[in-house]
Amino acid sequence: MLYYKPPMNIDFIILAAGKGTRMGGDSPKVLANLAGKPMIQHLINTIDSFPKSRTSIIVGHKAKDVEAGILSSKKINFIHQKKQLGTAHAVKQALPFLKKNSISLILYGDVPLVQKTTLKKLINSAAKGNLSLLTFIKDDPTGYGRIIRGSKNSVQKITEHKDATNQEKQIKEVNSGIMAVKSDLLQKLLPAVKNQNAAKEYYLTDLVEIANISSIKVGATICDAYEVGGANNRQELHDLERALQKKNASTLLAKGVTVADTARLDIRGDTKIGQGSFVDINNVFEGNNVIGRNVTIGPNCLIANSTIKDNTTVYANTVIEDCMVGKDCKLGPFTRIRGGTELSEGAELGNFVEANRSNIGKGSKGKHLTYLGDATLGQKVNIGAGTITCNYDGKNKHKTIIEDGTFIGSNSSLVAPLHLGEGSYTGAGSVITKDVPKGKLAVGRGKQVNLPKKK
CA distances 216 to 105, 220, 438, Å, are: 18, 13, 87
Q: pLDDT value at position 164? A: 87
Beta carbons within 10 angstroms of residue 429's beta carbon: 16
DSSP assignment string, 123-158:
HHHHHHSSEEEEEEE-SS-TTSPEEEE-GGG-EEEE
| Chain centroid, CA 196 distance in Å | 42
Q: Which residues contact 296 (CB under 8 A, 6 or more apart)?
A: 277, 278, 312, 313, 314
Catalytic residue among 161, 368, 398, 419: 368
Q: Helix, strand, coil shares of the chain as percentages rounded to 5?
A: 20, 35, 45
Q: pLDDT value at position 232? A: 86
Cα 342 to Cα 356: distance, rounded to the nearest angstrom: 9
**Yes or no: is domain 9-228 CATH 3.90.550.10?**
yes
> Where are the domain boundaries for CATH 3.90.550.10 in the chain?
9-228
**383 within 8 A of 428, measured Cβ to Cβ:** no
Helix (H, G, I), strand (E, B) or coil at 397: strand
**363 within 8 A of 349, measured Cβ to Cβ:** no
**386 within 8 A of 370, measured Cβ to Cβ:** yes
Span between the terminal Cα atoms of the chain, in Å: 91
**309 within 8 A of 292, measured Cβ to Cβ:** yes
Q: What does the pLDDT profile of the chain (455 residues) look like in tens digits?
A: 455 555 568 999 999 998 777 777 788 999 999 999 999 999 999 999 998 899 999 999 899 999 999 999 999 999 999 888 889 999 999 999 999 889 999 999 999 999 999 999 999 999 887 799 999 999 998 888 899 998 778 898 888 888 889 999 999 999 999 999 999 999 999 999 998 877 788 989 899 989 999 888 899 999 999 999 988 889 999 999 999 999 999 999 999 999 999 999 999 999 999 999 999 999 999 999 999 999 999 999 999 999 999 999 999 999 999 999 999 999 999 999 999 999 999 999 999 999 999 999 999 999 999 999 999 999 999 999 999 999 999 999 999 999 999 999 999 999 999 999 999 999 999 999 999 999 999 999 988 889 898 87
CA angle 424, 426, 430 (to 5 degrees): 160
| Chain centroid, CA 66 distance in Å | 18
**71 within 8 A of 55, measured Cβ to Cβ:** no
CA atoms within 13 A on the CB side of 76: 23
DSSP 180: E
Query: Under CATH, what is the fold of the domain 245-442?
Result: UDP N-Acetylglucosamine Acyltransferase; domain 1 (2.160.10)
Would you say how long the chain is, in residues?
455
DSSP assignment string, 309-371:
-TT-EE-TT-EEES-EE-TT-EE-SS-EEETT-EE-TT-EEEEEEEEES-EE-TT-EEEEEEE
DSSP assignment string, 75-86:
-EEEEE-SS---
Beta carbons within 10 angstroms of residue 446's beta carbon: 7
Q: pLDDT value at position 1? A: 41
DSSP assignment string, 5-67:
--SSEEEEEEEE----GGG-SSS-GGGSEETTEEHHHHHHHHHTTSTTEEEEEEE-TTHHHHH
Q: pLDDT value at position 223? A: 95
Cα 213 to Cα 222: distance, rounded to the nearest angstrom: 23
Annotated active-site residue 398? The verdict is no
> Where are the domain boundaries for CATH 2.160.10.10 in the chain?
245-442
